[in-house]
Amino acid sequence: MTVSAQRRIYHIPDLPGYVTLKCDFHSHTVFSDGYVWPTNRIDEAWRDGLDAIAITDHIEYQPRKAYIPTDYNAAWKIAGARAVGRNIILVHGAEITRSMPPGHLNALFITDADSLNKPDFMKVIETAINQGAFIQWNHPGWKAQEPDGIPKFYPVHKELIARGWLHGIEYYNDQEFYPLVMDMCRENGLAVIGNSDIHDVISETFPAPAYTHRPMTLVFAKERTPESLREAMFAGRTAVWYGNSLAGFEEYVAPLFRSAVTAGAPFRDDGKSIWFELSNNSDLPMELTGGPEGAPAEITLPASGMVIVKADRRFLDEPMTYSVSNIITGTNTVLKAEIRPAAN
């Protein structure tokens, strides 16, 4: 027996000492307000080359209940066997669905979603924490709940942080991103997260060729196991891959960039300029801007692509410094990277 549908293999480098796990920690099924059966989420994850997903049906929002009796663990039970068969890590989860504040939060790595159905919000979080949960604040700038679109910590969030009960925030959700989340996470030791929050069919919501991949969280884990995944998330070793951009702290995205982008030795030298190949061995395109005098002002490196760079001979001895405008490292910062041709 082989699984016949193709699994997409994305070329995203591992970091030294870590494997890069591709994850989506926010999805829905017919057991809340989604449109597909739980096993479909596993099949989608298989095709999309993911290592781990969470199904996070709403606790407090059950619009299908006239037809489908509430069972908060149903999706987990139904999808579990399929996940085992496809070697996908299925994270047990649920979306605690309140008005803002506190808004919506996912409890991940829980053991019983039914236990989260109670009125007192802090009790719910405590219950999840007692199950070992990673608590993720979802779409904090969602205009349906936060009309100005600006994520902000309310007292309840500060209380969660103070107790160590908040572990990550969605920088990206569905089609939206929230720049402030980068610094909110940095300042509070939280993980930067990005998810699809998929309700409908993933391939129709993020269709090719407009999308080359769904939004996802990259987790830099010691191994590809549920335990390592969980450890890495609590340690905040994450980045978000969405559209043609990557958002993550410099300590993770800088080595990722260095693994992905390689320069060849100069193949031509006319005494004034050198020419060398610059390759991108990843599926993440790279947009280099702000190049120095005597080098290209901008370099667009397509996914799995190569360009030829012409530059002054002085760059045989000193690096060219660029801003990587599509790798976001903070609310107001992007990655700085040095390019230098290989030695001949």
Structure token pair of residue 84: 């085992």
Piece in contact with its own copies (CB under 8 A), picked from 190-198, 215-223, 239-247, 296-304: 296-304
Residue 168 three-state SS:
strand
Write the binding mask 206 to 225 for its own copies: x where contact by CB under 8 A, - elsewhere.
---x----------------
Phi and psi at 10, nearest 5°, equal -85, 140
Number of residues that bind its own copies (CB under 8 A): 50
Q: How far apart are CA 266 and CA 50, in angstroms?
A: 38
Our finding on whether 343 is near its own copies (CB under 8 A) is no
Q: Name the residue nearer to its own copies (CB basis): 24 or 283.
A: 283
Q: How far apart are CA 325 and CA 305, in angstroms?
A: 17
Residue 218, class by beta-carbon neighbours within 10 Å (0-12 exposed, 13-18 middle, 19+ buried)?
buried
Do residues 334 and 320 lie in contact, with contact meaning Cβ atoms separated by under 8 Å? Answer: no
Q: Which residue in 23, 78, 96, 261 binds its own copies (CB under 8 A)?
A: 78
Piece in contact with its own copies (CB under 8 A), picked from 102-110, 124-132, 142-150, 305-313: 305-313
Our finding on whether 320 is near its own copies (CB under 8 A) is no
Our finding on whether 68 is near its own copies (CB under 8 A) is yes
Q: Which residue in 102, 215, 296, 341 binds its own copies (CB under 8 A)?
A: 296
Ramachandran bin of 252, using left for φ above 0, alpha for ψ from -120 to 50, beta for the remaining angles: alpha
Q: Which residue in 80, 101, 292, 305 binds its own copies (CB under 8 A)?
A: 305
Residue 133 three-state SS:
coil
Q: How far apart are CA 313 and CA 241, in angstroms?
A: 35
Q: Name the residue nearer to its own copies (CB basis): 194 or 266.
A: 266
Our finding on whether 325 is near its own copies (CB under 8 A) is no
> What separation, in Å, do the N-terminal and C-terminal C-alpha atoms of the chain show?
49
Write the binding mask 249 to 278 for its own copies: x where contact by CB under 8 A, - elsewhere.
------------------xx------x-xx
* Total count of residues recorded for the chain: 344
Structure token pair of residue 216: 């996802």
Q: Which residues bind its own copies (CB under 8 A)?
A: 1-4, 6-9, 30-31, 34-37, 39-40, 64, 67-69, 71, 74, 78, 84-87, 200-201, 203-204, 209, 267-268, 275, 277-279, 281, 296, 299-300, 302, 304-310
